[in-house]
Amino acid sequence: MTPKLFSELGLSAEVLKAIDKLGFEQASPIQAEAIPVLMQGRDAVGQSQTGSGKTAAFGIPAVEKIDPRQRLVQVLVLCPTRELAVQVSEEIHKLAFFKRGIHALPIYGGQSYERQFWGLKQGAQIVIGTPGRVMDHMRRGTLRLETVKMVILDEADVMLDMGFREDIEFILQAVPAERQTVFFCATLPRPILDLIQKYARDPQSVRIEQKTLTVPTVEQVYYEVDRRFKLELLTRLIDIHDLRLGIIFCNTKRMVDDLVDHLEAQGYSADRLHGDMSQAMRDRVMNKFRKSGLEFLVATDVAARGIDVDDVQVVFNYDLPYDAEDYVHRIGRTGRAGRSGLAVSFVAGREVFQIRHIERYTNMRIRRARVPTAGEVEEARTSVFLDKLRATLQSGEFERHDRLIERLLEEGFSSTDVASALIHHLHGGDAAATPRPAPERAPHREPRADRDEPWRDRPRRGDDRWERPAREPQRMGRSDRPVAEDRRPPARPPAPRPERRPEAVPADAPLQASAPVVPPPELPVAPSVVPDAASVVPVVASTPAVQLPPSPPLAESPAPASPPPPPRPGPAAARPERLEKPPARPAKASRPTPEGQTRLHMNVGAEMGIAPIDIVNTIAGETGLPGKVVGTVDIRERHLFADVATEHVHGIVAKLNRTQIKGHRLKVKVA
């Protein structure tokens, strides 16, 4: 195909000036083919790989077709994700920079409704949104589509994969029948063809014929590695290639969180991006990544749609994607706009067959690479250091320290020794600043073993050691009271601990005399070791000491020589209460549920580090409801109760049962 300049496509002076400001002069193949067709007002289906310039291919005709005098919605762009909607909006803003009176507005879930209401009321002519939020505004009556002249479905295949088909058909049925319909996608599966046949009128196919679906400037390799050693291989590749800006794809949100924790523990700058994060957090991470504020972005497929960051050096498929189409979208994050890039996939076991399927789908050979050794990694680090040192020496941009060097030379050190010592000191400083221990040491496992160690010696319920703290305070507490002089024979030494059990008591072991009230059966009294209540009663100073005769034995035996003493008068009747078990703390009275609210039970509590503000934020973030719908939050050790507005209780239960809080999956039900 012969390259075309933008000036040859019949564009207005304002748009050409904006394109020139962006630094582009020559149109990409998809732009050169699609822009003339769309400028003619025809329906079109554009197909090319990710990163080929599709946004400008439909963004330029959209800007050109806007009538600035009409403050009504004239162009509607549907995108699968929030990030892609923001990216398309930013691109259209740049293209319409020199065209006065044209306003583009992104609308998507997670953003404030008030801001979107205000933008629509001001008369935005181009609306870029996700299907769900667009339908929401249509039902509220804040978005009217009677004046729409052009509908663009960007990444249409992805939207269908995400389950937006019914939403897309609802929106397309609401716009005028004479509108211009444009589909852009990387692949054309059967559901997309059905949708095109139903809603497009004689569409013009704009397809960039090429032998592969992937970008030719991206080098694709894979490594066969066991799942246990993926992290070690990842860090080796980062060090050996000196990578500073990359995206790492995982298949699950939990894997994303775990991998970010491991990378940060080893000194790498990494952050996460997945569907459980709020929109504010996702925006913060993306802004930081665009400004190179972090080295690696670890993301899932859905959350990473629409990531358009310049100079991404590498894409790692830490988990191989389930679908070959996802592979095309993933590696399209690097090697954009003609730049070179690297796509690395980790393959374990039978996943090699999946690599063969991807090769057949993309018609591209993926090279198998050899896992680098630890020595090669160290050699690569040394080469990088030497290159930096050589560049500094050649540029001459460094502060001279001749006097310090001369002093060392005068002291008898050679120049090579001085240089070696400086390099050694510099390497030591770098290691101290950013420690990166080898993964085989598993630094994240050592604290876990230390933390679990005390549990090995902790007594289990049912063990005698559980009873010791409860018995000894009761026994020692009685000895603090004044006791009458004991004239009994010296007590026998305490028996070994196993003999304190009832089955070990000898049949002829006598018991001490008991008080008139028998103590509760759940508090056993050890024989001949612990004096009973009658032997430790407090007395008045004038009361003479009394010697107690022994009590009858457990088994049937002859009557004692002397009769038992009569019951003691006075406060003795009240004394046996001291032997009783302290009364249990009364159960907390269940508080009444306020009128208009329903109490929910959740399976998380204080033991998981949950605070009331976490519950309020989770309910507000997942449902979009204001925080005032949440009343009292009563947090217990392993569960909690939360009062919520009765009118929203079913929606709250349905939303929370599909989410997590602080790594724990919620289970919510009406209490």
Check if the beta carbon of residue 389 is closer than 8 Å to that of residue 395: no
Angle at which helix 402-410 crosses helix 415-433, to 10 degrees, equals 120
- Distance, in Å, from the CA atom of 45 to the CA atom of 58, rounded to the nearest integer, reads 11
- Distance, in Å, from the CA atom of 551 to the CA atom of 119, rounded to the nearest integer, reads 93
3-state secondary structure of 316: strand
Among 252, 301, 243, which Cα is nearest to 270's?
243
CA atoms within 13 A on the CB side of 587: 3
pLDDT band at 454 (very low <50, low <70, confident <90, very high): very low
Query: What letter represents residue 134's amino acid?
Result: V
- Distance, in Å, from the CA atom of 392 to the CA atom of 81, rounded to the nearest integer, reads 45
- Distance, in Å, from the CA atom of 535 to the CA atom of 543, rounded to the nearest integer, reads 14
* Paired tokens of 183: 């589909």
3-state secondary structure of 75: strand
pLDDT in tens, 125-152: 999 999 999 999 999 999 999 999 999 9
3-state secondary structure of 76: strand
CA atoms within 13 A on the CB side of 543: 14
- Distance, in Å, from the CA atom of 163 to the CA atom of 633, rounded to the nearest integer, reads 36
Parallel, antiparallel, or unpaired: how do β-strands 314-317 and 341-347 relate?
parallel
Among 350, 247, 239, 335, which Cα is nearest to 298's?
247
- Distance, in Å, from the CA atom of 99 to the CA atom of 254, rounded to the nearest integer, reads 46
Q: What stretch of H or E contains 29? A: helix 29-39
Q: What stretch of H or E contains 46? A: strand 44-47
Give pLDDT, residue 414. Answer: 83
Check if the beta carbon of residue 249 is closer than 8 Å to that of residue 330: yes
**Quick one: average pLDDT of 81-103?**
89
Parallel, antiparallel, or unpaired: how do β-strands 218-224 and 341-347 relate?
parallel
pLDDT band at 409 (very low <50, low <70, confident <90, very high): confident
597-670: same fold as 4-207?
A: no
For residue 129, the cross-strand partners are 78, 107
The CATH H-level (homologous superfamily) assignment of domain 4-207 is: P-loop containing nucleotide triphosphate hydrolases (3.40.50.300)
Give pLDDT, residue 152. Answer: 95
Among 653, 538, 666, which Cα is nearest to 598's?
653
* Paired tokens of 264: 């940060």
What is the chain's length?
Answer: 671
Give pLDDT, residue 173. Answer: 92
Give pLDDT, residue 440. Answer: 41
Q: What stretch of H or E contains 368? A: strand 367-368
Q: How far apart are the first and last CA of the chain?
A: 68
Among 62, 277, 274, 262, which Cα is nearest to 179's?
62
Please tell me what DSSP assigns to residue 570.
Answer: G
- Residue written as token pair 């663009």: 152
pLDDT in tens, 257-296: 999 999 988 888 999 888 778 878 888 888 888 888 888 9
Domain layout of the chain by residue ranges: 4-207, 218-375, 597-670
Check if the beta carbon of residue 599 is closer than 8 Å to that of residue 670: yes
pTM for this structure? 0.44
CATH numeric code, 597-670: 3.30.70.330
pLDDT in tens, 501-554: 444 444 444 434 444 444 444 444 444 444 444 444 443 344 444 444 454 444
Give pLDDT, residue 306. Answer: 61
Give pLDDT, residue 2. Answer: 58
- Position with higher pLDDT, 521 vs 405: 405
- Position with higher pLDDT, 472 vs 161: 161
Across 602-617, b (16+ Cβ under 10 Å) vs e yields bebbeebebeeebbbe
Among 599, 669, 664, 671, which Cα is nearest to 638's?
664
pLDDT in tens, 201-252: 889 988 875 545 566 778 899 999 988 889 999 998 998 888 888 999 998 8
3-state secondary structure of 270: strand
Check if the beta carbon of residue 167 is closer than 8 Å to that of residue 135: yes
Question: Which string of DSSP letters, residue by residue, matches 613-647?
Answer: HHHHHHHHHHH---GGGEEEEEE-SS-EEEEEEGG
Question: Which string of DSSP letters, residue by residue, matches 477-524?
Answer: HHHTS------SPPPPPPPPGGGGSGGGS-TT-B-PPPPSSPPPTTS-
**Quick one: average pLDDT of 6-26?**
85
The fraction of the chain above a pLDDT of 90, given in percent, is: 23
Query: What letter represents residue 264's amino acid?
Result: E
Question: Which string of DSSP letters, residue by residue, matches 400-430?
Answer: --HHHHHHHHHTT--HHHHHHHHHHHHHHHH
Give pLDDT, residue 427. Answer: 62
Query: What letter represents residue 284's amino acid?
Result: R
- Position with higher pLDDT, 448 vs 62: 62
**Quick one: average pLDDT of 158-177?**
90
The CATH H-level (homologous superfamily) assignment of domain 218-375 is: P-loop containing nucleotide triphosphate hydrolases (3.40.50.300)
Query: What letter represents residue 345's amino acid?
Result: S
pLDDT in tens, 642-660: 999 998 888 888 888 878 8
The CA angle 376-377-379, to the nearest 5 degrees, is: 65
Parallel, antiparallel, or unpaired: how do β-strands 597-602 and 367-368 relate?
unpaired
For residue 510, the cross-strand partners are 553
Instruction: Tell me the average pLDDT of the chain.
Output: 75
pLDDT in tens, 464-483: 443 444 444 444 444 344 44
